[in-house]
Chain A
Amino acid sequence: MGVAERNNVVVGGRPDGTPIVFAHGFGCDQNMWRYVEPAFRPSFRTVLFDYVGAGRSERSAYDAERYSTLGGYARDVVEICEELDLSDVVFVGHSVSAMVGVLAYLDDPARFKALVMVGPSPRYIDDDGYTGGFSRADIDELLDSLESNYLGWSTAIAPLIMGNADRPELGAELTESFCRTDPDIQKRFARATFLSDNRADLARVAVPTLVLQCSDDVIAPVSVGEYVHRQIPGSRFVQLDATGHCPNLSAPKETIAAIEAFLAGL
């Protein structure tokens, strides 16, 4: 099985354009970029994918050991770039994928041209002199929450035949596949994400980097975004008006504009 099939890679835009790879975070799949990616098609070669274990990736390729650390997810990114023979890649990572992008870049620096980090956090748990926003107990509670939504979750991913009365264009077929993930895989991804500590990797980033920070983001607070900005030499920091953790869904226009402005200045 090829990497493209394994990771449900979807390529769009201009075949001769600069490649822009969009990576989803913990909790969902490439659908997270559905309001953002189309804006880049006219001038870029756009690449969407699902990490193995998420969305419509090939479930049989899931390797519990490989995907128990963020390094395994970074391997997915590098392998996708290799398979598509991409160079000068602009990598746009949401949430935990912002750090996955850093790891992929460190793995194969020559391939990447720029990093866009949407709501990044190099470490979610507080440490001496560092505020990540969470305690270890909070993360255990999240794992519990995933566990107690085991039953609810299977309902949430079941085909929702009622569709969207007010947005019929989304249809029933799509709703069925949103954010499908096996609960065990979710928990392993949650652990890999929320127990990670990649602070030391930030200073090694030597490509143009944009940090996109939401206002009022519970998962990646402003102070964490500022920390990332300070640690990555020469990075740009843009504070969005958007609130919450998913500006790619809640404020796609603002997100697109910020990325476009950054890329135009490269």
Chain B
Amino acid sequence: MTGEAELATPTGTPEFFDALLEDDPNELYENAPCGYLSTRPDGTIVKVNQTFLTWTGFRRDELVGRRRLQDLLAVGDRIFYETHYAPLLRMQGMVREIAVDVVLSSGERLPVLANSVLKRDAGGEPMVVRTVLFDARERRSYERELVAARQRAEAAEARARELAQTLQSTFMPPVALDIPGLDVAGAYHPAGDGSEVGGDFYDVFPTGRGTHAVVLGDVSGKGADAAVVTALARHVVRAEVFHRPSPAGVLGVLHEAVRRAYPERFCTAVLVEVAAGDDVVLTVCAAGHHLPVKTDGTRVDRLGTAGTILGMLDETHLQDRRYSLEAGETVVLYTDGVAEARRGREFFGDRRIETLVAGGAGRPAAEVAEGLAAAAIDFQDGRPRDDIAVVALRRPS
């Protein structure tokens, strides 16, 4: 034999037998380091050990035949006993580790963990319930701390979610989109459960020279760091549009702003200046972004040229292109949350977008925008992995 230490009190010595005799079954029952209760199936106490009496301060004759286990519990725990403990015990023959408070004779409470076993007679009828109770003061205060910590964590999570949603809502115009003579609408859906702020944004606003600006973009990354850049992007565009009649010029300034302030971030965007008079003229610049789709229901065109991503390289290639928007035509801008929506290895893709947009030509802009977003979400079984932003612009026929 190796590795076993010599026992201090070897078996067979007088001291060993003294300890063994002291711990006869009755002594073990009465003074066990836990409370023992035997009850009838209805809870009436029929036997109780000394440890339980010592803990609770009751005399044996106050309990045996007179009180039920549930009578000794605090009221809330008594409901728990009736609705959970007793039914479970009856159905599965046992319950374990149930946390309840025993009300002591002094009125104070003793937190315990209770385990019960139901013993049935030969005919299968319930006969006696054996319950063992462990003093759980320390454990219960520890568990209460855990519960409190969990509640704090949940509250913090709720606050973070609310903050993310508030922040996110500033990336979209707070009012319904409006360009006189046109039908315009946006749709936005956050990634996942919406607990994290994404990088998509859009905006529609008057330029101050009789035209309107429509911008839609996507900043790399997620969370608060990305949100800072998204806010910058939206505000730079808002400010620059007023004195720059060229979308390419505005996006050029945004490029510089992002590159200087946040060298590790970049963004893509489409900016359209809409001059809506007798004719509707769109001036389009795309920067590293999916080109807007224009359709009359039959023909599908892409607007603009593929410009460079903003904030990434030193040089930019950004170009303005002019198009006329005829009566009955619709233009749709969207982020990669739509185009790159994935199901397994398959992407939602440009072809699907064009088919959907063409199919929706002539329908209200809100239907087209929401319809495209919903199709992209459905494609991912209802759980978008990236933000989805869509703006649709229609010239009624």
Measured CB to CB, the residues of A under 8 A from B are 25-28, 31-32, 34, 95, 134, 138-152, 155-156, 160, 162, 164-167, 170, 174-175, 178-179, 194, 216-219, 243-246, 249-250
Contact = CB atoms under 8 A, between A and B. Distances in A.
Nearest to B124: A167
B146 A145 contact: no
Contacts of A138: 75-76, 79
8 contacts: A138-B79, A151-B143, A156-B97, A160-B94, A218-B82, A219-B83, A246-B90, A250-B126
B317 interface: no
A142 B76 contact: yes
A249 B90 contact: yes
Contacts of B78: 218
B87 A27 contact: yes
Given A148-B99, A152-B113, A140 B76 contact: yes
A219 B75 CA distance: 10
Contacts of B87: 27-28, 32, 179, 246, 249
Contacts of A26: 83
Interface string B70-83: 10001111111011
A245 B83 contact: yes
A95 B76 CA distance: 16
Given A170-B93, A178-B91, A244 B76 contact: no
A164 B77 contact: no
A164 B146 contact: no
B143 A148 contact: yes
10 tightest A-B contacts by CB? A141-B76, A27-B83, A142-B76, A138-B75, A245-B82, A175-B92, A164-B93, A249-B90, A145-B76, A145-B80
A204 B163 CA distance: 48
Contacts of B76: 138-145
Contacts of B322: none
A165 to B, nearest CB: 8
Interface string B112-129: 010000011000101000
Contacts of A165: 93
Given A149-B99, A170-B93, A219 B82 contact: yes
Contacts of B80: 142, 145-146, 149
A246 B93 contact: no
A59 B124 CA distance: 35
B94 A141 contact: no
Given A148-B140, A178-B91, A244 B97 contact: no
Given A26-B83, A218-B78, 10 more contacts: A142-B75, A142-B76, A152-B97, A156-B96, A165-B93, A179-B91, A244-B82, A245-B82, A245-B86, A250-B86
A144 to B, nearest CB: 6
Contacts of B378: none
Contacts of A151: 99, 143, 146-147
B186 interface: no
